Structure 1
Amino acid sequence: MSLLLLNGFEFPLTQANAEPVRAGALERGPGLGVRSGVRAAAWDLTCATGWLSQADARQVRGLVEGEGHVLAFDSTLTATSYLWSSRGAVPSTQVTPAVGGRVPGRWGGGALRVREDYQVLWPGVCSGSEWTVLAWAHPSDTDTGYWEHRTWRSDGAVWFNGVGPQFGYGQQAYVEGGALVLTAGTDTHQDWDEVVLLPYFLSDAWVAQAYGFHQATRWPPLPYVLASGAAVPGGAAEVQGQAGGLQRVVAGPGAWWESFDFTLNRSPSSP
């Protein structure tokens, strides 16, 4: 069993220690009887990575801190809340019946249908030039119920159901000018579900792992990530992470290896 996986990804660790956190205290009374004032309990997992290449360190840090947005299209809080990302980003496009709307999704919730010659944009969700978009797509020309997993990367690489990288295909989901763009491609409409925007570059090996994870489970609503493995107390749990100090060792001219510590925080539960 792996020591620690985050959203199905495994990377080298030198430390993964669980520390209990409690609201309130467990103490002895005047007669030495034990009494508890604990109102809630949780744990923090304090970790440190092994040495990583610069590229790997960037994607591990982005993973730990839950960078990015997820569009699940499931919310029914308001008529348009299904368009909100997990971080509250909203589209600049006015989504009307002519443009598209909410339809049944792959996971039994909602999905977004984008109609031919239209696109829906979420501005300001990616500040850098490197990005990865993962999504489940259902084009209008496919059999009913068939959803294909697709991955697009900022270097033009594309994966279809984990097969790739392939080049030369038009990007139907991409980032432009800091905005996430979903289109209908060349179809009369295309349905989108569980769209994940990561504002960093996933390596080829990590894209394959991401497909396996996304096929088996829903992507957690970033900034939450799913922690699992032997080091996680009580089994798999959604956590929020924060990266700490960074160490570097020179590996050659203009190159180095990196290691950093980080903490995973689990939400409290009743004691």
Structure 2
Amino acid sequence: MLAPLWAHLTGHPYDDTFPRTGLDAGGRPRGPGGEFLLGADLLGRDVLVRAAYGTRVSLVVGVGAALLASVVGTAVGLVAGFVGGAVDALFGRMMDLVLALPYLLVAITLATTFPVSSAVGGLTMTVVVIAFFSAAASGRVVRGQVLVLRRAEFVEAARSAGASGPRIMVGDVLPNLAAQVTVLTSLQIPAAIVFEATLSFLGVGVRPPTPSLGSMLGEGGDVFGSAWWLLLVPGVLLLLTTLSFNLIGDGVRDALDPRGR
């Protein structure tokens, strides 16, 4: 959240190079300390500032993709499970097809087939691709819950009172899915963050000059022996970010699960 402030205080914008202070006489990046608290990269850029911006990208992609996947997956799973019949069969086979696809190969194919030059476009493409695959998993979980809820007594009572199908879905069934969807969304965020980092590591995720933890890992992997901080800093941040959201998801699950009380 404070990445722009930190860049302003240090005077190191995330994509500006400082070859005189960030590189030594031999052209090698300087290690942590002094002007660059976490060292400089191969071009003389501040690793700490770039890591802060890269973590912002991970959070935007992770939260955005998880929310979008939850909205789409909940809508599809709710309709499929409540309506049943041919609609359920159609949506079910569609979700099976998406889950059967090798998501990494599909993501790489989409990125190379529809290249995006701008950083915002690359970020949007990454969110959409991750949400597309995550929505299928969300839809399957929601569909299973709806198949149980549609036989509940309160649903039968609403039907007996003359409520329409859409009214029952939105007013009666959907509120009873809130806990499950909330837990599922919180647990999908770390998966989306890792997915984005993988795409950026392979060079098909967020486009430069926007930094990403995945692209920073790719840059630092070849020089780990001489510049260990280039791999360690983004790696630790990626680990802490995903671990934090996993702990949040576990906490939300325990708080909303009535069996845990």
TM-score for both structures, normalised by structure 2:
0.26
TM-score for both structures, normalised by structure 1:
0.25
Structure having the higher helix fraction is 2
Decide which structure has the larger Cα Rg and report it: 2
Structure having the higher strand fraction is 1
